[in-house]
Structure 1
């Protein structure tokens, strides 16, 4: 086998492994909830509710 063939075989083996390693945190990221001015986040309804004073 030539060096070129071995390099291609190595690349084809490594690429799927690297792509799987990149996706380890899929679904574990959390985004902060932000509400408009005059509202607050209600965890019971999981929505923004007007602030009553």
Structure 2
């Protein structure tokens, strides 16, 4: 069997697990993006205040 077919069947056989995995992945990516943006904003503000 192809890996995509196996993955698809697993996703449909366990919808709660798939939804939780997707939710946690989304939260993780959102938090990383948030911290990168905040870090960039802080660095920009510090550089502007020092100069």
TM-score band by shorter chain is 0.3 to 0.5
Q: TM-score, normalised by structure 2?
A: 0.44
Instruction: Determine which structure has the larger strand proportion and give its number.
Output: 1
Q: TM-score, normalised by structure 1?
A: 0.43
